[in-house]
Amino acid sequence: MSLIEQARAIYQEIEAMPVGNKEQLEQFRIRFIGRKGAVEALFEGLKDVAKDDRRAVGQELNTLKNFAHDRFVVFQGQLESADGGVAAPVDLTLPVFPHQLGSIHPLTLARAKIIEIFERMGFSVADGPEIESDWYNFTALNFPENHPAREMQDTFFVEKHPEDGTQDMLLRTHTSNVQIRLMQQQKPPFRAIMPGRVYRNEAISARAHCFFHQVEGLYVDKNVSFKDLKDTLYHFSKEMFSQDVKIRLRPSFFPFTEPSAEIDIWLGTDTEETYRLSKGTGWVEIAGSGMVDPNVLANCGIDPEEYTGFAFGMGVERIAQLRYGVRDLRLYSENDVRFLRQFEGI
């Protein structure tokens, strides 16, 4: 009998073989599927087939092997489902399981909201490098040579300058570097915000992290006044928190702005949460701000006699914390789904 004839005989045998219980299924497996079964035995004969026919015969044998295998799977499924098992035959016409969507990260939500509010006020979004030179991060922003922020304890330095060996490249400590790049590259007026990640040499705790996110803003034009700064940030606070929000401007100092003010919003002290967040004062800081120092404008080739501007910077983690009641900064970067799932559908 040729191999093809033998294969046909096995087809008939497979079709005739009753499989109604586990023993019969096992016999089926041994006879047709197993390595010592009838189908595998036929493959042994392939080497004796004339070379020219070998390919075609081989294909026939493979078809037989697949046939036996498919039938085995169907019998197996039938027996298991009769058993109450899970492997019922698959119904390919059923709809697929709905795909589980993740949720948007709270920092992404807060950042998107901040951007949306400022875009409606006519601000555009600018971007810049996270690894920055000392000049863009400090010098151009009027930080004196010996300012404490330039110490290793506060800033991550990346590499030594190739020529003079000074430590020149660093992880930016704020997104103000983008303000400088923008002022160098374009002519005023500017109205832009700079969202991005920033780094400081801090021990990680519930209240501090070595990286976090900021959105800084810059508005430079003729006759920009402190009142514009105040109105802009008041409008922002109303849109972000609530229309009856109360804000206050507290005098402060930054090397790159003069005068400078910190913006606080009123939370009150009536709950444990607001008492804790405001350290018992009722107020919490949401941003630093001020009028751009004339030296900074001059460093970027802008005439401080002709132009004035304001700048501000806020922490996205803090804004998200106030909006969503996040207690511990570390939660933002731990990727714990029990935390992240709470933002589904927001």
Name the site residues for ligand PHE (rule: CB under 6 A).
Answer: 174, 176, 216, 254, 257, 288-290, 311-313
Please report which residue ranges of the chain form alpha helices under DSSP H: 3-16, 22-28, 38-44, 51-82, 106-120, 134-137, 176-185, 226-240, 272-277, 294-299, 316-324, 331-334, 337-340
Residue among 176 and 237 whose Cβ is closer to ligand PHE: 176
Q: What minimum distance in Å lies between the beta carbon of 332 and ligand PHE?
A: 18
Q: What minimum distance in Å lies between the beta carbon of 131 and ligand PHE?
A: 17
Q: What minimum distance in Å lies between the beta carbon of 175 and ligand PHE?
A: 7
Residue among 3 and 265 whose Cβ is closer to ligand PHE: 265
Closest by Cα among 324, 313, 316 to 346? 324
- Residue with the CB atom nearest ligand PHE in the bound state: 313
Residue among 98 and 251 whose Cβ is closer to ligand PHE: 251
Residue among 65 and 209 whose Cβ is closer to ligand PHE: 209
Q: What minimum distance in Å lies between the beta carbon of 288 and ligand PHE?
A: 3
Residue among 195 and 288 whose Cβ is closer to ligand PHE: 288
Whole-angstrom distance, CA of residue 212 vs CA of residue 198: 6
Omega of the bond leading into 189 within 30 degrees of 0 (cis): yes
Q: What values do phi and psi take at 165, rounded to 5? A: 75, 0
Q: What minimum distance in Å lies between the beta carbon of 244 and ligand PHE?
A: 26
Q: What minimum distance in Å lies between the beta carbon of 158 and ligand PHE?
A: 19
Q: What minimum distance in Å lies between the beta carbon of 312 and ligand PHE?
A: 5
* 190-199/211-221 β-pairing: antiparallel
Residue among 311 and 322 whose Cβ is closer to ligand PHE: 311
Q: What values do phi and psi take at 221, rounded to 5? A: -165, -175
Whole-angstrom distance, CA of residue 337 vs CA of residue 22: 44
Residue among 53 and 154 whose Cβ is closer to ligand PHE: 154
Task: Dig out the tokens for 167 from the structure.
Answer: 């430590």
Q: What's the full length of the chain, in residues?
A: 346
What are the distances in angstroms from CA 66 to CA 59, 141, 265? Answer: 11, 74, 72
